[in-house]
Amino acid sequence: MRKTHSTKYWFFLFLIIYSLLSSAAAVIVTVCTLNNLREEAAQERHELLDFYIEQTDTALKNAYHSLIDITQNNRDIVALQMEDNVSENALCKSSLSKALSSLTASRREITGYFLYITKDALGNDFFTFSSNGTQSQVNNVSRSILSGFVNSTIASSDFQADQWFIAPISGQYYLVCITYNRNTYTGCYINMNSLIKPLDKIDSQRGYSVFTDASGLILTDSFLESNQVNLSSDNTSYKTEAFGGEKYIAIHAKSSSASMYLVALIPNQTIFSSFSPFFITLLTVLLAGIILPPLILLLIWSIINRPLSGLLCTIEQVKAGNADARATTATSITEMATLNQSFNEMMEETHKLKISIYEERLKERQTYLDYLQIQIHPHFFLNCLNLIYSLAELRRHDKIKEFSLSLVKYFRFLFHHSSSMVFVKDELDHVQNYINIQHFRFPDGINCTINVEDGLEEALIPPISIQTFVENSVKYAQSVDKQTEIRIKVERYGEKIRISVRDNGKGFPPDVLIALNSGKRINEDETHRIGITNVNERIALLFGEEATTHFYNNQGSVSEFTIPFLLER
């Protein structure tokens, strides 16, 4: 007999092996050290970003004040709008152009200025601009491009004067501010690449810097394949980003003058390059902690998990329907051998109980289906007897014969289709026969139209389901003032079929409508609209959640149900 050991034995053996490992402490130390290094690098770079963004905001404020100064203190603007002499007008324009050029030359961080007067004294508009020749990025911005941009911007409904905003011009992003006074628009535009260049020169060996808008869209030229940076929304000083397979630490600072962010991306390898010997030691310990635990887990798997996996596999086979699956008792663990044996004995008992319980439930289900179906028959049968009696009193023997033949077809359908499903075409033939029977009672009072979508005649539905809804319409939609119109429609509804019965009667009473849609019986004695209630219960019992019934009023009552599309019982 094979020797077995308890779980405690194997557990202590595992503890002895695992106690020799010290990788867990090394992992914790490594993670903490890496986080500290990242924090220090992020803090150092964040201070630089804050300093530069403050300088940038100061430059933007000075640029804005220079725009205000031009608008308020330049007499040529007023003269241009007041002087109707062509020569004087031309001199004022030349003076304004020189003033913008002089202002641009004195501010190297500014790409350029522009001035637009919508209407001068001669009734003409005037546009002039200047650009900083030291910035190579502005070579592709012509007068027509900039003029078109200014006109479209000020014509926009969301234009706001005196606010810095970001706009694309000739394939590059610019920071723009436009002021308005005395029918004059004065503006300043700054190329985002020129704005970022000083910072790249300061720290080009330790990372990369870009400007982004509030959504993280990169506004400057960058080495990144992506044009988007995820801005951190939490309180951490940095977050990790991955671009082109390399990881970076991302830090950002927000401008107070414009809706933009200055983002720094520091490669991880740059941060850790100065700590190589230390990282080699940590990496060695970390690898030991990574490699050795799987070896131990492999040992545990071979001792404990293998029999557990075998038992789990047996359970999965049982769940899949293989009731004959049994767990093996060949294991070196005493408790597992006992557990497997108990499981096998339990499965034997369960198999016996399952057969008996399943047979009882099948009988109960079929009995209830038969009860619900038969419960509909007396309701109609009594009406037929009353009609035969009335025809006999009138000595209408020909009608009695004709009516009796219709009843034979009707009851032949009931007795022949005792199963839970019938074809749509058979059910509709039964409905037509039912309408023919009703014509004996109401010769010109009922008109029934049937519309079946192609391919649905062979679909299966519960018997007497459509006829029950039609019978409800005949009973409650009758009126001495007009003919009862009944419309039956069978159509596809995705992977299902939907059947609806409409009439032109008064519709369902509100309390009846609520009760039918809630699935409850209408009253305790079950004599009011018992047929519809039974159809509801039969559909729910046959299809469960895959079927739905719905009742509502639309110029009469509408009864419809949706069931799976079946072609075989």
CA 85 from centre of chain: 67
Question: What residue type is 329 in one-letter code?
Answer: T
Structure tokens at 100: 């913008």
Query: Would the pTM count as exceeding 0.85?
Result: no
Place of tokens 């003269």: 79
pLDDT of residue 278: 63
Structural domain contains residue 252: yes
Secondary structure of residue 511 in the 3-state scheme: helix
Using alpha carbons, list the distances in angstroms from residue 430 to 99, 401, 413, 434, 470.
97, 19, 7, 6, 11
Kindly tell me the number of DSSP H helices and DSSP E strands found in the chain: 16, 16
Q: What one-character DSSP code corresponds to residue 301?
A: I
CA 243 from centre of chain: 27
Pairing between strand 184-191 and 208-213? Answer: unpaired
**Per DSSP, what are the bridge partners of residue 86?**
none
Classify the C-alpha dihedral 426-430-432-433 as positive or negative: positive
Question: What residue type is 78 in one-letter code?
Answer: V
Instruction: Give me the number of domains the chain comprises.
Output: 3
pLDDT of residue 379: 61
CA 347 from centre of chain: 43
For residues 396 and 404, give the distance between their C-alpha atoms in angstroms, rounded to a whole number: 12
- Which residue, 257, 274, 307, sits at the end of a domain? 307
Structural domain contains residue 356: yes
- Which residue, 273, 307, 341, sits at the end of a domain? 307
Same-domain status, 216 and 362: no
Structural domain contains residue 259: yes
Closest CA to 271 of 28, 35, 108, 517: 35
For residues 373 and 418, give the distance between their C-alpha atoms in angstroms, rounded to a whole number: 9
Same-domain status, 262 and 359: no
Same-domain status, 434 and 495: yes
Structural domain contains residue 384: no
Same-domain status, 243 and 122: yes
Structural domain contains residue 71: yes
pLDDT of residue 486: 93
Same-domain status, 480 and 334: no
Q: In this structure, what are the phi and psi dihedrals at residue 481, rounded to the nearest 5 degrees? A: -90, -25
CA contacts within 13 A on the Cβ side of 236? 14
Same-domain status, 106 and 58: yes
Q: What is the DSSP string of 110-128?
A: --EEEEEES--TTS--EEE
Same-domain status, 69 and 159: yes
- Burial classification of residue 237, based on how many CB atoms lie within 10 Å of its CB (0-12 exposed, 13-18 middle, 19 or more buried): middle
pLDDT of residue 563: 94
Same-domain status, 299 and 348: no
- Which residue, 307, 339, 359, sits at the end of a domain? 307
Q: Are 120 and 89 in contact (CB under 8 A)?
A: yes
Element (H, E) at 553: strand 548-553
pLDDT of residue 328: 74
Structure tokens at 523: 């009253």
Q: Are 205 and 267 in contact (CB under 8 A)?
A: no
Which region, left, alpha or beta, applies to residue 180 given φ > 0 means left and ψ of -120 to 50 means alpha? beta
CATH code of the domain in which 557 resides: 3.30.565.10
Structural domain contains residue 377: no
For residues 377 and 374, give the distance between their C-alpha atoms in angstroms, rounded to a whole number: 5
Structure tokens at 326: 């049994």
For residues 327 and 310, give the distance between their C-alpha atoms in angstroms, rounded to a whole number: 7
Low-confidence ranges of the chain (pLDDT < 70): 1-27, 29, 41, 134-140, 199-207, 232-239, 242-245, 270-279, 282-283, 285-286, 289-302, 304-305, 323, 329, 332, 358-380, 415-419, 521-530, 569
Q: What one-character DSSP code corresponds to residue 44?
A: H
pLDDT of residue 362: 62
3-class secondary structure for 440-490?
A: HHCCCCEEEEEEECCCCCCCEECCCHHHHHHHHHHHHCCCCCCCEEEEEEE
Structure tokens at 61: 């404020």
Element (H, E) at 260: strand 260-267
Structural domain contains residue 48: yes
**Count of residues for the chain?**
569
The residue range of the domain holding 183 is: 23-307
Same-domain status, 217 and 334: no
Q: Are 420 and 542 in contact (CB under 8 A)?
A: yes
Same-domain status, 361 and 213: no
Structural domain contains residue 313: no
Same-domain status, 337 and 294: no
Same-domain status, 161 and 111: yes
